[in-house]
């Protein structure tokens, strides 16, 4: 059997790995990591600009991907888009915080400030930036078009990994109602994405 890391992984490849990861298959996680690491690292580096910090965020992103693999649904987009969204959200959260919050030691701050993308990383960023931005704009536009409550539910369930039971308690409605709301929201997201793609063709 050929390794998917030897060639560009397809959405089907990644969906299959995520499904296996939902059963805590560590070999599947390793394969997914090898196949997607460069893409996610480039996405994060675009936002935080420093290689060391990007690596830290990347590791946290993969922890979340591992923990939430079972919550991935194709209706929200491709597996890569789902992982990019997780990575970008973490990077944006980190970028908004003061560097002092994380690096109070002056010597560490000096090392941090001196870091920057290498020539290879810069080339990769230029190649991936346009594609990443296009993917993000598509999913964000679709989510923004949702009614606020439905948008919050989708983000909570699929980006932050909240359980349906937890959301049921938070919103004070039965679990089945939460599932219905989320299902309808996903259908609307899919329709919005398709409309956007059609309008730009």
DSSP secondary-structure letter at 97? S
Topology match between the domains 4-128 and 145-201:
no
pLDDT at 5 over 50: no
Higher pLDDT pick, 159 / 120: 159
Q: How far apart are CA 166 and CA 151, in angstroms?
A: 16
Domain 145-201 sits in CATH 2.40.128:
no
67, with CB counted inside 10 A (0-12, 13-18, 19+), is: exposed
What pLDDT, in 10s, does the model give residues 56-104?
Answer: 889 989 998 998 888 888 877 889 989 998 998 888 877 665 344 444 4
What pLDDT, in 10s, does the model give residues 129-188?
Answer: 555 556 566 677 777 778 888 888 887 887 677 788 888 888 888 989 988 888 888 888
Report the candidate in 98, 69, 102, 104 with the shortest Cα–Cα distance to residue 83.
69
Q: How far apart are CA 200 and CA 180, in angstroms?
A: 31
pLDDT at 184: 87
Q: What is the mean pLDDT of residues 118-129?
A: 52
What Å distances lie between residue 42 and 48, 51, 77, 180, CA to CA? Answer: 10, 10, 20, 36
CATH class of 4-128: mainly alpha
Going from N- to C-terminal start, the domains of the chain cover 4-128, 145-201
pLDDT at 196: 63
């Amino acid at each position: 059997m050929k390794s998917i890391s030897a060639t560009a992984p397809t959405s089907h490849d990644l969906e299959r790995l995520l499904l296996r990861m939902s059963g805590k298959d560590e070999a599947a996680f390793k394969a997914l990591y090898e196949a997607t690491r460069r893409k996610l690292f480039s996405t994060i580096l675009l936002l935080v600009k420093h290689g060391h910090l990007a690596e830290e965020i990347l590791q946290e992103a993969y922890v979340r991907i591992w923990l939430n693999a079972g919550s991935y649904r194709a209706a929200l987009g491709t597996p890569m888009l789902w992982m990019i969204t997780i990575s970008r959200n973490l990077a944006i959260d980190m970028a908004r915080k003061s560097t002092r919050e994380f690096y109070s030691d002056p010597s560490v701050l000096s090392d941090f400030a001196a870091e920057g993308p290498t020539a290879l990383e810069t080339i990769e960023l230029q190649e991936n930036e346009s594609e990443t931005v296009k993917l993000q704009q598509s999913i964000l536009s679709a989510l923004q078009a949702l009614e606020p409550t439905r948008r919050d539910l989708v983000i909570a369930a699929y980006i932050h990994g909240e359980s349906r039971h937890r959301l049921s308690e938070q919103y004070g409605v039965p679990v089945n109602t939460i599932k219905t709301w989320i299902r309808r929201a996903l259908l609307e997201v899919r329709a919005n994405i398709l409309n956007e793609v059609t309008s730009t063709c």
